[in-house]
């Protein structure tokens, strides 16, 4: 039995039906590395640099022949659910004979597996008295206007100040379908994306909403401000998205790659202001960072998107050249992306309901300067 002690406490891994061959000691380090500009920010997946990365190596025994790798690793790695293991594999965390594979990959006897272990998470959500802008509430669900800078649920580097902590403090009962660290959470918004997000109070409502998201019957409309010319007044971006080959927290257009997924985004120009454009966006699919990646792909990244636009803030003079009043003032320091409208079918009443989240003050200041 191997025991490791990390920031989240003592945890263990059992050998199960596998041969535990070695841990690469060069992969376990408390030395922080200097992150690139892109690596300093991640939506819901920000990595805290002083948490050691732990790898486990296995050789597949005859008894595991034909078994899915996610099932094999779940039985071999104590303390983690199949969902946690599957997410780790989907994040390019598993290599078989040196190749990145998917969770459904079928194993062969004698193959070598290197697996990047997910970090153990706390079993409970710690309630915190954080103000919430509640747009709607009834017995089955809540719709919240999430502020920018708030992570939806606890993750590495973001254990406090999350939406789930605020929800746990405010509401006595939330669904537990997503596990103890994600009470009520049906879908997510990136940390620096503001706007409407629906939260389930009961498991029945949660499952119904999940079905709607899976069937793509939920209508989502975002507001964005981009930097770069957009020639067409409206169009659909069809481009597959997968994890960036070199930066693990970043997504990229990866047509034809084994781990990429089809993605479709409709956009419509609201108004143009020289190099800047106000855009209405309706994603048809729900890939990680989809809107940000697709707008960057057409040459119009969202302003202040440090990961895909290469800058993290914008000043009054950049938005309105020649302005006399405090031209160097920073107007916005996060991506100008807001989930403005959300339409669902209420699981209990069966009625279609539309919720609108007002634009936050920082984005409104940008609009005022552009106008």
Whether 302 and 311 have beta carbons less than 8 Å apart is answered as no
Place of tokens 């401000």: 225
- Count Cβ neighbours within 10 Å for each residue of 34-46 and write b for 16 or more, e otherwise: eeeebbebbbbbb
Whether 343 and 204 have beta carbons less than 8 Å apart is answered as no
Exposure of 173 in the CB half-sphere (CA atoms within 13 A): 11
- Count Cβ neighbours within 10 Å for each residue of 211-226 and write b for 16 or more, e otherwise: ebeeeeebebbbbbbb
Instruction: Report the C-alpha gap between 272 and 269 in whole angstroms.
Output: 7
Instruction: Report the C-alpha gap between 286 and 280 in whole angstroms.
Output: 16
Residue 327: in which H helix or E strand, if any? none
- Count Cβ neighbours within 10 Å for each residue of 85-119 and write b for 16 or more, e otherwise: bbbbbebbbbbbeeebbebebebeeebebbbbbbb
- Count Cβ neighbours within 10 Å for each residue of 137-176 and write b for 16 or more, e otherwise: eeebbbbbbbbbebbbbbbbbbbeebbbbbbbebbeebbe
Residue 322: CB partners within 8 Å, gap ≥ 6? Answer: none
User: Active site includes 190?
Assistant: yes
Instruction: Pull the structure tokens for residue 12.
Output: 């263990």
Instruction: Report the C-alpha gap between 38 and 309 in whole angstroms.
Output: 9
Catalytic residue among 44, 70, 190, 305: 190
- Bridge partners for 330 per DSSP: 315
Catalytic positions, written as ranges: 190
């Amino acid at each position: 039995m191997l025991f490791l002690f990390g920031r989240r406490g003592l945890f263990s891994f059992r050998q199960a039906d596998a041969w535990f061959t070695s841990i690469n000691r060069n992969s376990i380090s408390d030395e922080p590395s200097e992150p690139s500009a892109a690596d300093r920010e991640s939506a819901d997946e920000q990595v805290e640099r002083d948490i050691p990365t732990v790898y486990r190596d296995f050789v597949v025994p005859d008894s595991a022949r034909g078994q899915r790798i996610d099932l094999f690793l779940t039985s071999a790695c104590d303390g983690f659910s199949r969902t946690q293991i599957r997410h780790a594999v989907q994040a390019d965390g598993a290599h078989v004979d040196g190749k990145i594979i998917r969770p459904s990959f079928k194993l062969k006897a004698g193959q070598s597996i290197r697996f990047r272990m997910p970090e153990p998470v706390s079993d409970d959500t710690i309630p915190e008295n954080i103000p919430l802008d509640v747009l709607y509430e009834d017995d089955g669900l809540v719709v919240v206007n999430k502020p920018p800078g708030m992570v939806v649920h606890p993750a590495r580097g973001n254990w406090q100040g999350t939406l789930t902590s605020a929800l746990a403090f405010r509401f006595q009962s939330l669904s537990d379908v997503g596990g103890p660290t994600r009470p009520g959470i049906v879908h997510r918004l990136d940390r620096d994306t503001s706007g409407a997000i629906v939260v389930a109070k009961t498991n029945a409502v949660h499952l119904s909403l999940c079905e709607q998201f899976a069937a793509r019957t939920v209508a989502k409309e975002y507001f964005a401000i981009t930097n770069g010319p957009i020639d067409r007044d409206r169009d659909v971006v069809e481009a597959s998205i997968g994890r960036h080959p070199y930066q693990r927290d970043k997504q990229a257009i990866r047509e034809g790659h084994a781990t990429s997924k089809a993605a479709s985004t409709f956009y419509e120009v609201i108004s143009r202001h020289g190099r800047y454009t106000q855009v209405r966006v309706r994603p048809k699919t729900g890939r990680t960072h989809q809107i940000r990646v697709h707008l960057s792909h057409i040459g119009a990244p969202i302003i202040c998107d440090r990961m895909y636009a290469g800058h993290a803030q914008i000043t009054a003079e950049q938005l309105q050249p020649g302005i006399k009043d405090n031209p160097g003032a920073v107007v916005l320091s996060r991506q100008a992306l807001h989930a403005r409208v959300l339409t669902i079918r209420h699981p209990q009443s069966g009625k279609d309901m539309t919720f609108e989240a007002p634009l936050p003050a920082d984005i409104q200041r940008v609009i005022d300067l552009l106008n």
